[in-house]
Structure 1
Amino acid sequence: MSTYDDPWYAIGNQLLTLSGYALVMAFFLKVPERVSKLVFLIGFALLAQSILTDLTSGVSQAARGAGFAENPNSAALRLSLLNIVCLFFLQQKRSVIIFIAINFVFVFLTLSRSGIIMFALSTFLIVAVKFGGITRLSKLPVFFVRSLPVAAMLTAFFFLIIPYLTSYFPSFESRGAAQRISQITGQSSLIDDQDVGDQGRVAIAEKYFGLILERPFGYGTGMSMNREFYYKATHNMYLRVGIDYGIFGLIILITIILAGVYRSVRFNDVYGLSFYMTMLIACFFTNTLFENRTFVFCWAYIDAIALKQLLQQRKIKAYDSEPIEALA
């Protein structure tokens, strides 16, 4: 049994994640906002530099079919999460537009389909509230309908421009990037043979889903990472939790996400909503979400902001409820 197959490794890893979340959250509750801002901007700069290095050096060309970064899907997820937190710090419209444009370039360089979806969703939600005149998150569906013409024009422009990358940038020709670009721009099916083949994500999901149905209370901690149990990883956080912890683990995971969405809508927290919606989608495409340190840092910061706002609101309510004589 390898280290990754050991259930004690899995338990220890989860405990480290929870401990890291608590410590990072305590850190962000104590430090000034400028320190938090510096932490995430440096993180974004390092990730962007890593993608550019891979773009120019091509070290992993033989290992990846498309996209840049050692793990393009992981890089795109990290960029999408950092997008949410960094947009919290930026207030001026020009700064927001410039940052979104730069971040989109790096997300696109990963050629991650799920990453582009997560980035687009979080960006839409935050921009709608920041500059769209949305005062309540419940009005977002109306804003979405009104924004469809503009979104259609931007999408059409994107589809027209992107295919030229393979003609003018040789780096995109050596990784199967042309096929991935055609998928992203709608020129070919978004799901290819690699997704539905014997070793594709669809086949893997069907296999693991069947295993969950056979033993709905789970197979034990770490079994989803055991290659003797099944030779392919789940590539899906819901399936991983279902294999390890059964339906009760799945209920806990889904409850955490839906509780975050509910709290965000209730308190009109667009950054929390963007984060938990990204988490909801990411769980379909990765089985190592809680091992992703960028995710832990962003999660801790988003919850730290929510906690600060909650404490501030309670303090204001307590102040307002005091008798006039006590305030005099």
Structure 2
Amino acid sequence: MPAHETQMSGGVAPGRGLPRDLLFALFCAAILAGEARPAAAFEIFGIKLWGSSKDEDADIVDPLRYSVTLNAPDADKDLVKRLENASALKNDEDHPVSGSLGLMAKARGDREQLVAALYADARYEGVVTITIEGKSIDELPPDAEFKGPQPIPVVISVAPGAKFTLGNIRLKGDAAGLASADFGLIAGGDAGSGAVLKAEALIVRALKDEGRPLAKITDREIVAEHASSTLDVTLTVAAGPVAAYGDTTVEGTEKVDRDFTEYMTGLKRGQQYSPQEIDDARDRLLGLEVFNSVTIKEGDSLDANGNIPIDVQVSERKPRFFGLGGTFSNTEGLGLEGYWGHRNLFGQAEKLRI
């Protein structure tokens, strides 16, 4: 990563204009630097202006090219599209793999992703078969060698099967008093894996909204009834106790003051836990514009005082930045301007831009 970030815009960049001779010299220097590299592609400020990404394939050991055919005659157009999007073999077809072992590994991983795509569409009796050079990957030895002419033919065959709907739904444990329909689990409704996982997340969130940071799904029993094409779902939930915030630990700060970061979370020790406040704290820290990422996690257990510890992990952005902008007018001609700025002058997200 460069030590600063750049910005190119077709509009007027705010700030003080830099001398045109200096800007022109910077542009020429960037071009000369690009020409000095033995690469077919040319980039400036991280933007690829011309060239191909095929040069990246030159670093692959024992490159092996393949071609993919995906057959799903019983799937509708939407499902075929989802299968294609889930297939790494299909998406990476233009890039070689590293030898026969790389192709086998990619094919086995692809089958898992395709089965997951079928589950997401509530297809729980679907079958995915992948062949390489006409042989099923289940029949090939782990050290199989594909020495035929490239590209090596790979065929993915998908029999999606019937689409399932939800059957019997039971919520147990601390969720026994909740109505499954409130979370999207309705008999005869969507049985896709995504719908079930979404319902689980909503149940846990509802309990956490009561101030219970340790709420979780403790057991999940999913039974596909093939005779009726229904999916029976039983979820067991542990709510855990209501708790307040304990100590907040901040990790990852370098130039930004750690105590300031903790203060800006707004999570006060002894105040009742709220998942919305956790979300707000994350947004507030990102809003300081000094962090690339912010992750806030609750502890796995309560402390000795019955409070929930909070762990804040951050990754800082580069403090300095500059930008270039240009305009063109039929009366004033070409205009070039630039600006320089600092996001964290004294450690507490103080900003300067000139």
TM-score of the superposition, structure 2-length normalised? 0.20
**Higher percent of residues as strand:** 2
Indicate the structure whose relative CO is greater, using CA pairs within 8 Å and at least 6 residues apart: 1
Q: Who wins on radius of gyration, i.e. which is larger? A: 2
**Higher percent of residues as helix:** 1
TM-score of the superposition, structure 1-length normalised? 0.21
